Chains A and B, each alone.
Chain A
């Protein structure tokens, strides 16, 4: 029998291969051995801010034109953005990763812009809802005292500021001339702090109007009396009429007293006090000259201050030291100097001046302002804290040797800058709070730390260090700069020299809104997600999606196969790779 051929049944066959289900049926995430994850890194600006500002977060917000949000971020850490935006020496910009690319971002002028805008928009501090029983005494109302008062009051503590002078502000009011920091701006910033319920006693010098024993009734004391004693020149004629210290001169000028320094004024020293004194004397109609024992390079004053002084045609007599104040009838007539050469570098790395014998010369002057350095006055302190010279020793929490007494600002050993003072005030506030709450202050401060330069974050302190930021600082090499174009930094605008010297108007002008936004957008936002969308665009598995709150992205690990293109293409290094075990 013939075998019957089987009938071939025509079955459905599609023209091309395709799946019955969508590609989501294939969980490509199972292939993964590298796992990308969003992990905010620390930006170098944050690490270098002595006041512990979250510069990074503020810059992200400013870049989104949310300046008031940026102000809130800044003032969470530092109550004086308008002050710092004018007088800070901005180490943040020195650490800025962008300077490796073109020029550092203008963080400092932006801080000023944000602060001024917030004030104009009537942004003010809110007193905390819950008050604490404990009251804290703060001696001195300079940047350290104000910062400590602000943070303690924000935490609900009762705060009393004791200020020896008739007005609050310390060095901000009596040291820094108003062409750098207008007094009305300082007043507004202080008023804002006082609105938190901070009690201020002015004209209350501890050791005179107020006894130390009275302070002991407080739960803690923060000593931030500054360094107001000028170092003597140690030359003959120093006590003549017409010789005064730089701080004394600035204090009188800044408190509005009539000061007539005379025609020709010699300012001795190369620090900020010397520059401020010289420029103030110029504005009072004098012809100042600065005498400094080394060269411009070794001057301890900020570069910007030195160059502005130069722009104002103030004469520098360099490599010269005064040896004698020439007097006539007990009044200054001139200053005799000796020429120096520079020897090898000394302990601080600066080259030491060496007098050249027989090189003496005399300058005819009407007054001499000595500004060769300041030192704290310890006379008001109790015996156990009183020292003859130097600075008040404190531990890493700002605590002195006496229980319940903390210190900060220029009275302790740290760079004498406004931002360091603000940082030390904040540190003391944290340490006082931790101590009063029975916590380990050292541990509490460690959790608030930002990087390795001693910067402390109040936000981290409040959260116990769990703000999701990793402590590593993201270096320039951690960025993908292919996504950035070179953009010149907006130069600071300044009053023309001709209009500067006739009065005490502010020299540096603020940023225009356009320049502010330009600079805010120049910021790389190192290490943090600023919602640029690159990861979303590049993910080949469509595994990345924006969060519903639009505050970041989520990775769907069912489909992320770990190619880590997102990590590579994130311009700011905000995504890290974890290796699957």
Chain B
């Protein structure tokens, strides 16, 4: 079934199809309409989930973390300053290995005030132990949310799905809505091996001495490395079932290209048009869209970009004093 919907609405439907059980969020532009639609669906019963209103993004993340620890499939969404406010909790969630899925609508962080798209908000959270998947279209946003739950719950790491503020969050596109039964086949219910329950009391995140601390970090690093393969496998499975796949790195006219543009998110959509125009002029150019930023798919990038005459990187961010984060990576 094809429907015309905004990127944010596509995200909401992805959450519904994934059968999220607990949602907690605090509104912030340009994310707000995601949780607005979800709260309505929770209120009228279309989504049998608990929607917890909170006073801040920090609490929103704490809420979903607790619900996830108790074994629920959870969701939250935020943007910009809201994400920054969650920063501490992002570490706790990944350290607890909770399969939380969050959508961040990319928006510049002030000052000065801005509501426009800038991926600096999520890129500045790149070291928090979350997977990051950058989307290009509303369809991809919906599909990625579903994939994100599969990845998160298999590897026990949180996943952040990124949609460019306004360019994607607020523009409408035709979206193919997968059938619920098909999604259910792709995404089995969340059955955690470790969860908080009064029947079998445990304390999560007890203090670990330095050697244990390192061990837990090794485990997480290993999981992150494994997540690259897992993300690729989940994407292939998804393609097998739904006919749509995106890869970790999406290549467009790269086979014989001498110059390739590397970018993330919606900019790739526009770039595609430009590359077609250049190709018509006989210029050997291609596009490489980085979809998975964390874990960083270095091997695949090297394979794609290695030996090229030139690679142009379009960063929608800037690490002050170091330059674009994608180019530096």
Contact = CB atoms under 8 A, between A and B. Distances in A.
Counting contact residues on chain A (CB < 8 A from B), the size range is 10 to 19
Interface string B143-165: 00000000000001000000000
A18 B201 contact: no
A13 B96 CA distance: 14
A23 interface: yes
Nearest to B200: A22
A15 B201 contact: no
A13 B206 CA distance: 15
B96 A16 contact: yes
Contacts of A17: 204-208, 212, 216
A540 to B, nearest CB: 14
Contacts of A13: 215, 219
B229 to A, nearest CB: 18
A14 B156 CA distance: 11
Contacts of B156: 15
Contacts of B208: 17
B95 interface: yes
A24 interface: yes
Given A15-B97, A15-B156, A17-B212, A22 B219 contact: no
B194 interface: yes
Contacts of A19: 202-203, 206
Contacts of B220: 15
A365 to B, nearest CB: 73
Contacts of A21: 201-202
B202 A18 contact: yes
Given A21-B201, A22-B201, A23-B201, A14 B206 contact: no
Interface string A19-44: 11111101000000000000000000
Contacts of B212: 17
B201 A16 contact: no
A458 to B, nearest CB: 47
A240 to B, nearest CB: 81
A18 B205 contact: yes
B194 A23 contact: no
B205 A16 contact: yes
A479 B194 CA distance: 44
Contacts of A22: 201-203
Contacts of A24: 201
B202 A20 contact: yes
A13 B222 CA distance: 13
A21 B201 CA distance: 6
Contact of B95 (A16, A20, A23): A16
A15 B95 CA distance: 9
A13 B223 CA distance: 13
Nearest to A24: B201
B216 to A, nearest CB: 6
B97 A16 contact: yes
Nearest to B218: A13
Given A23-B201, A23-B203, A24-B201, A18 B215 contact: no
B206 A15 contact: no
A18 B197 CA distance: 13
Nearest to B213: A17
A561 to B, nearest CB: 15
B206 A18 contact: yes
A16 to B, nearest CB: 5
Contacts of A16: 95-97, 194, 204-205, 216
Residue from B205, B206, B208, B220 whose CB has the most chain A CB atoms within 10 Å: B206
Nearest to B94: A16
A20 B203 CA distance: 8
Contacts of A18: 194, 202-206
A371 B95 CA distance: 86
Contacts of B203: 18-19, 22-23, 26
Contacts of B204: 16-18
Contacts of B206: 17-19
A15 B204 CA distance: 11
A541 to B, nearest CB: 13
A303 to B, nearest CB: 48
Interface in B187-241: 194, 201-208, 212, 215-216, 219-220, 223
Contacts of B201: 21-24
Contacts of B96: 16
A19 to B, nearest CB: 4
A17 B92 CA distance: 12
A13 B207 CA distance: 15
A435 to B, nearest CB: 60
Contacts of A14: 194
Which of B215, B216, B220 neighbours the largest number of chain A CB atoms within 10 Å of its CB?
B216
Contacts of A26: 203
B195 to A, nearest CB: 10
A12 to B, nearest CB: 12
Contacts of A20: 202
Nearest to B204: A18
Given A15-B219, A16-B194, 15 more contacts: A14-B194, A15-B97, A15-B156, A15-B194, A16-B205, A16-B216, A17-B205, A17-B206, A17-B208, A17-B212, A18-B205, A19-B202, A19-B206, A22-B201, A26-B203
Q: Nearest 10 CB-CB pairs, A to B? A: A22-B201, A15-B97, A19-B203, A23-B203, A16-B97, A18-B202, A17-B208, A16-B96, A18-B204, A19-B206
Interface of B: 95-97, 156, 194, 201-208, 212, 215-216, 219-220, 223
29 contacts: A14-B194, A15-B97, A15-B156, A15-B194, A15-B219, A15-B220, A15-B223, A16-B95, A16-B96, A16-B205, A16-B216, A17-B204, A17-B207, A17-B208, A17-B212, A18-B202, A18-B204, A18-B205, A18-B206, A19-B202, A19-B203, A20-B202, A21-B201, A21-B202, A22-B201, A22-B203, A23-B201, A23-B203, A26-B203
